Amino acid sequence: MSINSQRATPASSEHDLPGTVLHTDSPLVGVLVDQHERRLIAIRPIAKGSLLYRLEGHETPVPTKYSVQIAIDMHLDQSDARDATDRVRRRPWRYMNHSCDPNTRIADREVRAVRDIAVGDAVTFHYNTTEYEMAEPFECRCRTPVCDGVIRGAKFLTADQRARLGPWLADYLR
Ligand SMILES: [Zn+2]
């Protein structure tokens, strides 16, 4: 479904976005489809502190490339989605990118804004704040001044990195 053309909408809305936006069950976020990837973005202005959506999914003890850890031996994966549309609607976390300077955090399965988020901005969280050991580590290219480099999970944090992320770390990672 394409909602980024045809209609006249306010300047700060979806129609300026550089791709097709797929809607999720949350009125605040959508999945932007561009040439290179699908990523979660804000489709309305989101105020600091707001709840974007709650994490739901299939609970499994085995992490995957796309799972999100929710407890010491528990991860959410997307294997219960019926199809791609259902996955976008009910498992939007699947499309949430990492940033070392993120605009949301996850606590008790809630994704909340840690600062104001503008329409079109990627919705991000810091993977090391939920994951103990990533199934697929990767080199971060967020280009923020606080970039942590290779993202492998909280198990591998240096003392400095752990101190910086401290307040955001999930309870089971402290
Ligand atoms: Zn980074």
For residues 60 and 144, the model is more confident at 60
The three-class DSSP label of residue 128 is helix
Interatomic CA distance for residues 9 and 38, integer angstroms:
23
Question: Is the confidence at residue 33, as pLDDT, over 50?
Answer: yes
List, in order, residues 6 or more apart from 4 with CB less than 8 Å away: 14, 15, 16, 17, 19, 20, 21
Domain ranges in the chain are 14-126
Ligand 1 mean position, distance from CA 98 (Å): 8
CA proximity to 67, closest of 157, 154, 126, 130: 130
151 neighbors 134 (Cβ within 8 angstroms): yes
Ligand 1 mean position, distance from CA 3 (Å): 31
How confident is the model over 104-124, as a mean pLDDT? 97
Mean pLDDT, rounded, of the chain: 91
Question: Is the confidence at residue 17, as pLDDT, over 60?
Answer: yes
153 neighbors 128 (Cβ within 8 angstroms): yes
Ligand 1 mean position, distance from CA 83 (Å): 31
The three-class DSSP label of residue 171 is helix
Q: How does residue 15 score in pLDDT terms, banded at 50, 70 and 90? A: confident
Interatomic CA distance for residues 136 and 124, integer angstroms:
18
Ligand 1 mean position, distance from CA 127 (Å): 10
Q: How does residue 22 score in pLDDT terms, banded at 50, 70 and 90? A: very high
CA angle 106, 28, 108 (to 5 degrees): 20
Interatomic CA distance for residues 43 and 65, integer angstroms:
26
The pLDDT assigned to 35 comes to 85
Instruction: Return the CATH architecture of domain 14-126.
Output: Beta Complex (2.170)
The three-class DSSP label of residue 23 is strand
Q: How does residue 140 score in pLDDT terms, banded at 50, 70 and 90? A: very high
Question: Is the confidence at residue 51, as pLDDT, over 60?
Answer: yes
What is the H or E stretch that residue 75 is in? strand 74-77
How confident is the model over 138-162, as a mean pLDDT? 94
The pLDDT assigned to 1 comes to 41
Ligand 1 mean position, distance from CA 139 (Å): 8
Helices (H) and strands (E) in the chain, counts: 2, 13
The pLDDT assigned to 12 comes to 64
- pTM of model > 0.85: yes
Instruction: Give tens-digit pLDDT for 52-106.
Output: 999 999 999 999 999 999 999 999 999 999 999 999 999 999 999 999 999 999 9
